Amino acid sequence: MNHALRNSLILLLILCCVIAFYYSRNKKAEKDIVVAEASLESTLNELKKYENKEPNTMILDYYRALIEYLEDWTTDNSKYFLQQDNTRISWLYTQEIIKRFNPNFQYNFATVVKGGANEYTITGVSRLADLNAFINYIEGLGALYTIENFNLNPQFVESDTGPVNDMNYSLVIKPWVDASKGKDILNTPFKRVSFSPLAKDPFRPAIHPPMVDPVQERFPNHADLRLVSFTKGMAFFLTPQNQTLTLKPNQAVAYGYFSHIDSNNRAVFRINRTGFYDTVYKNLEQ
């Protein structure tokens, strides 16, 4: 099987999984919203019963707190139309997403002229993990944007430290506008969004030469750490800047994790740079 066919099949499989995941999640969200709206309406009706009576502070406080909770829940679990849109509004919105949630994502932003509706092309070269995070927030945040087109072309780029697997991507996002019911997107707070990063890059070979991963490079490098002390549940290291770093078992380091302190008072790391986990030991310094 050639690489083009394999990558096409992988993309098709990923697309099917993404569609199935968002379909099931949206159906569940619709049911939750219906239940929440019914609860909110019931609570409002209960509160009205006490408007013309001698106030019972505990009852009123309870229902006010419940209404506030339900309103917050609705905000966190619903989408809204934009009150208006233009290139500046959507560009500032994507910039705010990147600044808050995904600062390493690089992209080019351009307007697509198509009928009377605005659409925007986002292109660039990125790690798959950063691209996945950006799409997650476009889909998950409150503003109603849909992804109309998506193309992905994995490519290996040689760097000074070895090959890097980057994604050459292109996608089109479309904002949905309703002037009467929509919200001002730039003055509407972001809701909370759950996010699960990719466990594995499907375009990276299972066994490969050591690669540079910008995501992994953000973590401490085990080779730069000096083991100076430890307790039953944690180990203490000194960084090259002579700062103390505390690691617990299974806590991440670059390309792996800190495992434990063995019977010889050595720090044990599990490091994966090539597709296999290697065990690396760090002796206690006196």
Question: Residue 191 — pLDDT band, cuts 50, 70, 90?
Answer: confident
Per residue in 154-167, pLDDT tens? 766 555 545 556 78
Per residue in 49-78, pLDDT tens? 666 655 567 777 777 887 777 766 666 567
Share of the chain above pLDDT 90, in %: 27
Question: Residue 132 — pLDDT band, cuts 50, 70, 90?
Answer: confident
Which 3-state string (H, E, C) describes the chain?
CCHHHHHHHHHHHHHHHHHHHHHHHHHHHHHHHHHHHHHHHHHHHHHHCCCCCCCCHHHHHHHHHHHHHHHHHHHHCCCECECCCCHHHHHHHHHHHHHHHCCCCCCEEEEEEECCEEEEEEEEEECHHHHHHHHHHHHHCCECEEEEEEEEEEEEEEECCEEEEEEEEEEEEEECECCCCCECHHHCCCCCCCCCCCCCCCCCCCCCCCCCCCCHHHCCCHHHCEEEEECCCCEEEECCCCCEEEECCCEEECCEEEEEECCCCEEEEEEECCCCEEEEEEEECC
Which domains can be identified in the chain, with CATH numbers? 1-78 (no CATH), 79-198 (3.30.70), 219-283 (no CATH)
User: Is residue 248 pLDDT above 70, yes or no?
Assistant: yes
User: Is residue 115 pLDDT above 60, yes or no?
Assistant: no
Q: What is the pTM of this model?
A: 0.51
Please state the rounded mean pLDDT for residues 39-53: 71
Residue-level pLDDT at 236: 95
Please state the rounded mean pLDDT for residues 132-137: 88
Residue-level pLDDT at 15: 65
Question: Residue 204 — pLDDT band, cuts 50, 70, 90?
Answer: low
